Amino acid sequence: MQVLTVDRVSFSYDARVPVLTDVSLGVRRGEFLSLVGPNGSGKTTLLRLLDRIFLPAAGGITLDGRPLTAYARAELARKVAFVPQDAGALFPFTVMEVVLMGRSPHSRGRMFESAADRTVAARMLRLADVEHLADKPVTALSGGERQRVFIARALAQEPEIILLDEPNAHLDIAHQVDVFTLLRRLNRDEGLTVVSVSHDLNLAASFSDTVVMLLCGTVAAAGAPAAVLTEGRIREVFRTNVLVDTHPAGSSPRITLLT
């Protein structure tokens, strides 16, 4: 069953230069979907449309069969959480305070967090491996630590769908795997629907149910990782020679650059 449906959506920042053109795709409930494609192909813009930061110039997006525009902002935030590539850290809030901000869609007029809010926030801190940073100002953290804090904040919304723009940005190899393993566990165990932009084709191949490849604002291919991430298509879309074989530890495709 599709939880998000994108129907012939087009968008441009400048009327003369379209960013997305006639894009259609569906996200199934409980799916892990990765958006891949070259820089400038429209991946981040599509995420922002899914979170209603932007509105389509043409076409429409529905969530659970309702137009995205029919949702009040707080109602939408209880269903969809968005983690941008660089959320920034302008003020020295503590890590716990930042994660508690994710509880605002559930506050229903309360000025202060409840004990239940703090319990949820503490759990998300543990899941994102930043519990030990709870009392530190977010401005004192490394880029990778901040990224995990903002993922924890999004999870604190207790959304049905999480949208992530390059969640592995700024992370070392170990934490890249940790973050994707966390997302996959929440996806499998708790039914969290994940839509993630990734420049790492191997991570997308290993963790995704579905890969959607964008090129010049259109869908070049969509399907299972092995069907989309082929040598010919990667060469055509990314203009890069690669070898694609099967990962020795599983059945997912493995992409190796040829220099």
Given this model, what pLDDT does residue 111 score? 63
Q: How many CB atoms lie within 10 A of CB 254?
A: 18
Q: What is the pTM of this model?
A: 0.93
Domain boundaries, given as residue ranges, for the chain: 1-79+159-231, 89-158
Q: Is 216 helix (H, G, I), strand (E, B) or coil?
A: coil
Given this model, what pLDDT does residue 88 score? 64
Given this model, what pLDDT does residue 89 score? 63
Tell me the mean pLDDT per 10 residues along the chain, length 259.
95 89 97 96 97 96 97 95 80 94 82 86 92 95 87 95 90 85 90 95 95 97 97 95 90 91
Tell me which residue of 178, 172, 163 sits closest to 68, measured CA to CA: 163
Give whole-number Cα distances, 20 to 48, 55, 221, in Å: 12, 12, 15
Given this model, what pLDDT does residue 107 score? 78
Given this model, what pLDDT does residue 132 score? 97
Contact 253/226 with Cβ under 8 angstroms?
yes
Tell me which residue of 238, 254, 236 sits closest to 246, measured CA to CA: 254
Please, which residues bridge with residue 193 across strands? 161
Q: How many CB atoms lie within 10 A of CB 65?
A: 9
Q: Alpha helix locations (H) across 78-213?
A: 95-101, 115-127, 143-156, 173-190, 201-207
**What kind of fold does domain 1-79+159-231 have according to CATH?**
Rossmann fold (3.40.50)
Given this model, what pLDDT does residue 109 score? 63
